[in-house]
């Protein structure tokens, strides 16, 4: 019996279709060894009569003396390395991935810069006035555009998370590190990137569009934009882990965005964008330039009238309720759910999809071979018609 050279163990099935016809071909082949088909059962029976299996069976038949066991031979912890070393190893791996994908993050920053410049040209400061209630719609539209753009900015986490899932599953099954370390470091290393993107967006758009000139309101809007980005990355990471394939994740991500934008009625308070929309206009409309003017009824402040027209609570505390508390709570909730999904969801779906892809590839290979054989036969008949009457 002749065995092929050994190859490394792979995660999936490896097949070769070049010599598949030898199994059923009874014609003799050149060489010292004929081609024979050996079943799995025959392999197992022959191995039982092999000297390696016989020696192994004799060794296993002797009971092991537990008194001779070394005290340090048993492990009572799931992860033998200290938590600090696990976090350090995970941090080094995450930092290496960030440096490897540095072009992606630079491209996202450039994209934010371009969109902020476009927004500044659409909402021009020279045409933004605070005279009456009609002018307020333009400012609210600019705030809504800011919220939507930074929400869409987290959509890129889908592809990055799905690309890293196969490696994570192998490391999780081999007990390299707990899933919480993966989530914690992903969240912490994403914070500086979100800070840079939020600063770039707010610096380029805030005073260019002509929002309230107070510095405190500038930093408040920067805080809300940063929290919206953190919430968006958390929800898209959760979608990527729940779907586990690129096609389904893209569909689920687009559906989630659609639901977030269209939810109303009982679902209004479930959407994180509700609290973002309540915090940004409150921060702007309570500025002195809006509150020192009266609305058309000559009784209500112009800023309060604008908030009432857009069904936003006309209270200053709603900035901290919606911006600092609710959006931050959603960001933490999505990261916790992402950690639980990493801990308990298996890659069964990925394995089934891989098998489907393998079966489809096998079908295409066999079909192409049959078409090629038919083409060669027809070509031979066309070139030599006298041989095929």
For 302-336, write each residue's pLDDT tens digit: 888 888 888 888 888 888 887 778 899 999 999 99
d(CA 316, CA 286): 7
SS3 62: coil
pLDDT at position 203, please? 92
d(CA 169, CA 179): 10
- Copy the structure tokens of residue 104: 């992606």
Q: Reply yes or no on whether the pLDDT at 288 is more than 90.
A: no
Instruction: Examine the domain organization and report whether 209 and 171 are in the same domain.
Output: yes
Mean predicted confidence (pLDDT) in 181-203: 90
7 phi and psi angles, rounded to 5 deg: -125, 165
Instruction: Examine the domain organization and report whether 170 and 302 are in the same domain.
Output: yes
Instruction: Examine the domain organization and report whether 142 and 273 are in the same domain.
Output: yes
Q: Reply yes or no on whether the pLDDT at 246 is more than 90.
A: no
The answer to whether residues 168 and 93 touch, using CB atoms and an 8 Å cutoff, is: no
In a domain, 374, yes or no: no
Number of domains in the chain: 2
| Average pLDDT score, the chain | 78
In a domain, 95, yes or no: yes
> Which of 341, 355, 352 has the alpha carbon at shortest distance from 180?
341
How far, CA to CA in Å, does 256 sit from each of 19, 156, 172, 197, 238? 49, 14, 28, 23, 11
In a domain, 385, yes or no: no
In a domain, 278, yes or no: yes
The secondary structure of 249-274 as a DSSP string is HHHHHHHHHHHHHH--GGGGGT-HHH
How far, CA to CA in Å, does 179 sit from each of 244, 303, 385? 16, 47, 68
Instruction: Examine the domain organization and report whether 121 and 269 are in the same domain.
Output: yes
- Copy the structure tokens of residue 85: 């070393």
- Copy the structure tokens of residue 320: 């901290």
SS3 74: coil
Instruction: Examine the domain organization and report whether 179 and 273 are in the same domain.
Output: yes
SS3 218: helix
Instruction: Examine the domain organization and report whether 171 and 38 are in the same domain.
Output: no
Instruction: Examine the domain organization and report whether 52 and 178 are in the same domain.
Output: no
338: enclosing H helix or E strand: helix 327-344
Instruction: Examine the domain organization and report whether 61 and 176 are in the same domain.
Output: no
The more confident residue out of 352 and 181 is 181
Q: Reply yes or no on whether the pLDDT at 167 is more than 70.
A: yes
Q: Is 220 exposed, middle or buried (0-12, 13-18, 19+ CB in 10 A)?
A: buried
Instruction: Examine the domain organization and report whether 340 and 249 are in the same domain.
Output: yes
3-state class percentages of the chain: helix first, strand second, coil last, to nearest 5: 75, 0, 25
d(CA 239, CA 170): 20
In a domain, 14, yes or no: no
d(CA 192, CA 105): 11
In a domain, 377, yes or no: no
For the entire predicted model, the pTM comes to 0.70
Mean predicted confidence (pLDDT) in 252-281: 77
SS3 32: coil
In a domain, 386, yes or no: no
Instruction: Examine the domain organization and report whether 54 and 144 are in the same domain.
Output: no
294 phi and psi angles, rounded to 5 deg: -100, 155
260 phi and psi angles, rounded to 5 deg: -65, -35
Instruction: Examine the domain organization and report whether 259 and 160 are in the same domain.
Output: yes
d(CA 148, CA 237): 18
Digit-coded pLDDT (tens) for 342-358: 888 876 655 555 555 55
d(CA 223, CA 146): 13
The answer to whether residues 136 and 285 touch, using CB atoms and an 8 Å cutoff, is: yes
Instruction: Examine the domain organization and report whether 110 and 259 are in the same domain.
Output: yes
How many residues does this entry show for the chain? 389
pLDDT bracket for residue 177 (50, 70, 90)? confident
Digit-coded pLDDT (tens) for 66-118: 777 776 667 777 777 788 888 888 888 888 988 888 888 899 899 999 999 99
Proportion of the chain above pLDDT 90, given as a percent = 12
pLDDT at position 382, please? 47
Domain extent at residue 62: 20-67
In a domain, 266, yes or no: yes
pLDDT at position 360, please? 56
Q: Reply yes or no on whether the pLDDT at 58 is more than 60.
A: yes
């Amino acid at each position: 019996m002749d065995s092929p050279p050994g190859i490394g163990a792979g995660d999936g099935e490896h097949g070769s279709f070049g010599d598949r016809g030898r199994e059923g071909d009874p014609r003799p082949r050149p060489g010292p060894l004929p081609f024979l088909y050996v079943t799995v059962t025959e392999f197992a029976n022959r191995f039982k009569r092999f000297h390696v299996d016989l020696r192994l069976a004799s060794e296993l038949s002797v009971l092991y003396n537990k008194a001779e066991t070394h005290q340090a031979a048993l492990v009572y912890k799931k992860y033998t390395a200290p938590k600090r070393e696990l976090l350090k190893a995970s941090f080094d791996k995450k930092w290496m991935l960030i440096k490897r994908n540095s072009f992606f993050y630079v491209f996202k920053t450039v994209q934010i810069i371009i969109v902020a410049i476009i927004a500044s040209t659409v909402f021009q400061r020279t045409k933004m006035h605070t005279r009456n209630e009609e002018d307020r719609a333009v400012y609210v539209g600019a705030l809504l555009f800011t919220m939507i753009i930074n929400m869409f900015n987290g959509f890129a986490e889908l592809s990055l998370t799905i690309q890293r899932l196969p490696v994570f599953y192998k490391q999780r099954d081999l007990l390299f590190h707990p899933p919480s370390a993966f989530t914690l470091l992903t969240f912490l290393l994403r914070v500086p990137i979100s800070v840079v993107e939020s600063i770039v967006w707010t610096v380029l758009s805030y005073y260019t569009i002509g929002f309230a000139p107070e510095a405190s309101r500038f930093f408040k809007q920067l805080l809300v934009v940063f929290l919206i980005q953190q919430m968006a990355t958390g929800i898209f990471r959760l979608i990527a882990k729940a779907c586990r394939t690129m096609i389904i994740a893209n569909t689920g991500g687009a559906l989630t965005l659609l639901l977030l934008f269209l939810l109303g009625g009982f679902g209004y308070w479930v959407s994180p964008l509700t609290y973002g929309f309540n915090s940004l206009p409150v921060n702007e409309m309570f500025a002195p330039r809006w509150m020192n003017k009266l609305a058309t009824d000559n009784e209500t402040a112009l800023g309060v009238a604008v908030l009432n027209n857009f069904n936003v609570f006309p209270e200053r505390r709603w900035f901290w309720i919606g911006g600092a508390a609710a959006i931050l709570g959603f960001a933490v909730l999505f990261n916790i759910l992402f950690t639980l999904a990493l801990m308990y969801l298996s890659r069964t779906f990925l394995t089934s999809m891989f098998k489907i892809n393998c079966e489809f590839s096998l079908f295409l290979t066999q079909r192409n071979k049959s078409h090629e054989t038919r083409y060669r036969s027809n070509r031979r008949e066309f070139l030599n018609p006298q041989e095929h009457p």
